[in-house]
Amino acid sequence: MRPVKSVIYKRIPRPDPALIERASQFGVADLHEGLGAVAGRMCLMTPKMQARQEGRRLIGPAITAWNYPGDNLAIHCALEVAQAGDVLVLTNGGGHQGALWGDVACGFAKKQGLAGAVVEGAARDIDAIRELDFPVWSTAISVEHPEKRGPAAVNVPLTVDGVIVEPGDIICADTDGVLVIPQALLRHAVEGAEKRAATEVGIRKRIAAGERPFDIFGFRTAVVEMGIEIKDSTWRDDR
């Protein structure tokens, strides 16, 4: 087995700011659907990744930090290279041992103008973080003491909550979840989200005019084609 190499890369590939601005007009659901069925699923973190404040959103390029289990030296290294608008993406493999994120780091990140933090592992000081009003998502909450010994790696490709995250990938998060958009797919995701949003405007108008979703989406035809029986009775009548 090769030993873990500790390394800090100070720079990341930067995405097009104009595309990020367009993407910021949409939530995770629209961008997820905009990516398509396959890429959308591959880029979506699991429901374990929970928002620690209600109603907060973020979007920005990823600064990645790999932490040894029980240790959070890498997050402090990441804070040294992150720029305003960046999103810290932190992992220790997902274990609860050694809180990766707390209010002190959170306060500094807010002062530096970072967009937020996505943590595969434990966050703590949740009440204080909520008072700071800094967007944080994590897979766990635990106060367990973290060491600061390393090893550590910053701005290297990681797997975070089942999703590959490369430095500079676009992180989108809201109450619905966390989505990782590779730079190569950002334009595709944005254009797909814009098309979906325009379609939904039309659907809402049709519903307001009296149409039913069952007909708008063609479900009535699908039910007939699948041979699903519709009975004007209760299930008790068939006992």
What DSSP string runs through 35-74? H-HHHHHHTBPPTTSEESSTT--EEEEEEEEEE-TTB-HH
Comparing 73-82, 93-102, 124-133, 172-181, the range with the smallest average pLDDT is: 93-102
- Mean pLDDT along residues 176-195: 96
pLDDT, averaged across the chain:
93
- Mean pLDDT along residues 195-202: 90
pLDDT > 70 in the chain, percent = 98
Name the token pair of 56. Answer: 């907060």
pLDDT at position 160 is 97
| CA–CA dist 125, 131 (Å, integer) | 10
Contact present, 195 and 33 (Cβ < 8 Å): no
- Mean pLDDT along residues 114-142: 96
Cis ω for the linkage preceding 151 (within 30 of 0): yes
- Mean pLDDT along residues 175-189: 96
- With 60 as the cut, is the pLDDT of residue 3 above it? no
Tens-place pLDDT, residues 29-68: 999 999 999 999 999 999 999 999 989 999 999 999 999 9
pLDDT at position 4 is 59
- With 80 as the cut, is the pLDDT of residue 74 above it? yes
| CA–CA dist 45, 86 (Å, integer) | 18
pLDDT at position 1 is 41
| CA–CA dist 78, 222 (Å, integer) | 52
Closest CA to 139 of 172, 93, 73: 93
Closest CA to 91 of 113, 74, 109, 108: 74
Closest CA to 48 of 96, 100, 85, 101: 96
Burial 156-181 (b: 16+ CB within 10 A, else e): eebebbebebbbbbbbbbbebbbbbb
Tens-place pLDDT, residues 7-22: 999 999 999 999 999 9
Which residue's structure tokens are 């325009």? 198
Closest CA to 196 of 27, 17, 58: 27
What phi and psi values does residue 191 have, to the nearest 5 degrees?
-65, -40
Name the token pair of 127. Answer: 């009440």
Residue ranges per structural domain of the chain: 7-192
pLDDT at position 238 is 83
- Mean pLDDT along residues 55-83: 95
- Sign of the CA dihedral 215, 35, 84, 138? positive
Q: Does domain 7-192 have CATH number 3.50.30.40?
A: yes
- With 70 as the cut, is the pLDDT of residue 137 above it? yes
Higher pLDDT, 177 or 4: 177
Rg (the chain; Cα; Å): 22
Higher pLDDT, 1 or 177: 177
